[in-house]
């Protein structure tokens, strides 16, 4: 078991422990997280380069290698009042080749219960342009589509996005910008706008991140954070979300763990 694994779950257990919670609802949520925590520690013991399929929430230009599986759990939480919450999202990606992956995502399970709990099934494709003539630029055109099934009775919807990304060759910073459109089954309203992201590597294991979904909707936040590679196949992300508008929701923490195998 890695030292990072022990530290990561000790932090999560401390945050979510019923001894630290101020409401019965939050204590119930805390107890439900202790079983996944044991699995997390077992996975963290694994070792073996990993793609980063999302900057934080925003789909990135990275693609799961052909024949590989990427799994990630994301926890968003605010343990203090007013507006304490916990929301969990789980990602599954399978690389099918030709710069494309198949994806299944379960969104927004947690407490208090939200109207946009949904499952999405779809794909992401991100071919590299000018690969032969200018590979260091790493210019990519990413497109993706998710068909949505809402689990609170809102029916079927969709989430579509596209963005262009490139790296600054001297410092390897990746800049991303594009647009998206989505329906109320996930975003709590039919809407769309622009998105942007930045990823700056610091050494071999750390990446400074930030992403932004513009607009008034459930994804309308600016999220800066840090990504750490405990091994080549694993990622751990620590972030904090700031709403674009008060109606989008409360600020809170974001924690993610992902592994490719």
Question: Using one digit for the tens of pLDDT, what is the confidence trace for 21-78?
Answer: 344 433 434 443 343 444 344 333 444 345 678 999 999 999 999 999 999 999 999 9
- Work out the pLDDT band at 244, boundaries 50, 70, 90: very high
Domain residue limits at 104: 46-260
Residue pair 26/19 in contact (Cβ under 8 Å)? The answer is: no
What is the domain-level CATH number for residue 58?
A: 2.40.160.40
- Which is more confident, 20 or 203? 203
Residue pair 145/122 in contact (Cβ under 8 Å)? The answer is: yes
222 CB-contact burial (10 Å; exposed 0-12 / middle 13-18 / buried 19+): middle
- Whether 167 is covered by a domain: the verdict is yes
- Whether 37 is covered by a domain: the verdict is no
Q: How many CB atoms lie within 10 A of CB 22?
A: 11
User: Structurally, how many domains does the chain consist of?
Assistant: 1
- Whether 27 is covered by a domain: the verdict is no
Nearest CA to 62 among 225, 203, 174? 174
- Whether 253 is covered by a domain: the verdict is yes
Give pLDDT tens digits for 80-105.
Answer: 999 999 999 999 999 999 999 999 99
What does the alpha-carbon distance between residue 118 and residue 147 come to, in Å, rounded to a whole number? 10
pTM (predicted TM-score): 0.81
Element (H, E) at 186: helix 184-187
Poorest-confidence range of 19-33, 106-120, 156-170?
A: 19-33
- Whether 7 is covered by a domain: the verdict is no
- Whether 2 is covered by a domain: the verdict is no
- Whether 95 is covered by a domain: the verdict is yes
What does the alpha-carbon distance between residue 149 and residue 33 come to, in Å, rounded to a whole number? 25
DSSP 45-81: T-------SBSSSSB-S--PPBT-EEEEEEEEEE-SS
Length of the chain: 261
Poorest-confidence range of 38-42, 166-170, 173-177, 234-238?
A: 38-42
At residue 223, what are phi and psi to the nearest 5 degrees?
-130, 105
pLDDT, position 81: 96
Residue pair 239/225 in contact (Cβ under 8 Å)? The answer is: yes
- Work out the pLDDT band at 242, boundaries 50, 70, 90: very high
pLDDT, position 53: 84
What does the alpha-carbon distance between residue 5 and residue 39 come to, in Å, rounded to a whole number? 11
- Whether 83 is covered by a domain: the verdict is yes
């Amino acid at each position: 078991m890695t030292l990072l694994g022990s530290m990561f779950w000790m932090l999560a257990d401390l945050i979510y422990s019923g001894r630290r919670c101020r409401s019965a609802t939050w204590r119930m949520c805390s107890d439900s997280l202790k079983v996944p925590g044991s699995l997390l520690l077992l996975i963290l013991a694994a070792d073996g380069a990993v793609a980063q399929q999302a900057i934080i929430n925003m789909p990135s230009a990275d693609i799961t290698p052909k024949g590989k599986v990427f799994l990630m759990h994301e926890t968003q939480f605010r343990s203090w009042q007013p507006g304490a919450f916990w929301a969990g999202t789980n990602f599954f990606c399978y690389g099918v080749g030709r710069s494309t992956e198949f994806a299944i995502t379960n969104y927004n399970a947690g407490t208090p219960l939200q109207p946009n709990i949904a499952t999405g099934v779809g794909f992401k494709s991100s071919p590299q342009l000018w690969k032969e003539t200018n590979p260091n630029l790493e210019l990519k055109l990413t497109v993706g589509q998710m068909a949505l099934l809402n689990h609170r009775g809102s029916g079927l919807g969709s989430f579509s996005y596209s963005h262009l990304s490139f790296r600054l060759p001297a410092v390897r910073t990746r800049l991303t910008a594009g647009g998206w459109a989505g329906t109320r089954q996930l975003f709590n309203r039919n809407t769309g706008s622009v998105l942007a992201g930045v990823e700056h590597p610091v050494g071999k294991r750390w990446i400074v991140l930030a992403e932004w979904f513009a607009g008034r909707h459930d994804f309308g936040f600016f999220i800066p954070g840090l990504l750490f590679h405990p091994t080549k196949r694993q990622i751990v992300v620590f972030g904090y979300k700031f709403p674009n508008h008060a109606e989008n929701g409360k600020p809170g923490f974001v924690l993610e763990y992902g592994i490719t195998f």
